[in-house]
Amino acid sequence: MNDITFVGKHPLISSVSRHMHNTWEFVYCTHGSGVFHFDGRSMSYRKGDVAVIPPLMPHSNSSEDGMRNIYVNMQSPAIALKEPTVITDDADQLMLHAFQAAYCHFVSDRKERASFLSAYGSLICSYLTAYQTSHVRPGVVEEIEQAILTGYPNPDFELDAFLRALPFSYDYLRKLFQKEMGVTPHRYLCDKRLQAAAQLLSGGVDSGISIADVARMCGYREPLYFSRMFKKKFGISPSFYLEEPALSEASSRD
């Protein structure tokens, strides 16, 4: 129980490609903010937060301004959680100290390494249990997110028009969504479209899909504009991604 199997650090990065683990993953954000994307939902986090991700749950991670993380993978942690959750550290950053110590012992060759890792695994789980709170996002944020998840494949979906039709100030909604989700509504829409495009392209040329098909299915009227946006986010063109999906996915990992 609470057996740490891996501890690592992300340098300053803007994205981590879709993947999953057969262990629990705990991600402590030490800089910036980000958004975890799961099938059908997203979860934002910021500096001082720990994202808790159950095993066998595909997810990706993105940040508009960049993020740094310490991540711990653990077998059978003693926590009463079943869904992805964000838990915030306290003012003394006690969880951060535990994550940092776990990393130091994981990369060391001391003979006491295993016993220290076991102790820090139990300590991290104790902190997560003690600090666990239920944070419910405002209903209007859920409404905006659902509208984006439903509307992103449609090139005629007008996010601005949707936001302005809600009974709140446009600027208030934009700031509230960014506070809760880590990105603005428009960035969230763009990221969702491009992540969906990457998933479609990952089938490779054998899938028979074209760049124009993918652009249209992900809400873009103009394939050239879609290609520019795709390359800006992933650093490679959609045509390269289509021809070499395995190589392309590897190049976008941390």
Do 148 and 214 sit in the same domain of this protein? yes
Residue 74's CB: how many other CB atoms inside 10 A? 25
Mean pLDDT, residues 131-142 taken together: 74
Q: Is 108 in the same domain as 32?
A: yes
Chain Cα centroid distance, residue 59: 6
| CA distance readout (Å), 211 to 66, 196, 200, 240, 247 | 28, 13, 10, 10, 18
Same domain, 127 and 144: no
What is the token pair recorded at 30? 């030490």
**pLDDT tens-digit series, residues 205-240:** 666 788 999 999 999 999 999 999 998 888 888 888
Domain boundary among 98, 115, 131: 131
CATH number at residue 7: 2.60.120.280
What phi and psi values does residue 61 have, to the nearest 5 degrees?
A: -140, 130
Q: Are residues 127 and 12 in the same domain?
A: yes
Parent domain of 46: 3-131
Residue 66 pLDDT > 70, yes or no? yes
> Would you list the DSSP string of 180-238?
HHSS-HHHHHHHHHHHHHHHHHTT-GGG---HHHHHHHTT-S-HHHHHHHHHHHHSS-H
Weakest mean pLDDT among 35-39, 52-56, 124-128 = 35-39
242 and 153 together in one domain: yes
pLDDT digits (tens, 9 = 90+) for 231-245: 888 888 888 887 765
- Shared-domain flag, residues 112 and 66: yes
Name residue, tokens 């220290």. 116
Residues 133, 74: Cα–Cα separation, whole Å: 21
Please count the residues of the chain: 254
Of 131, 154, 175, the position where a domain reaches its end is 131
Tokens of 166: 């809600």
Q: How far apart are CA 167 and CA 148, in angstroms?
A: 18
Q: Domain count for the chain, please give it.
A: 2
pTM of the model: 0.59
Based on the domain organization, do 105 and 224 belong to the same domain? Answer: no
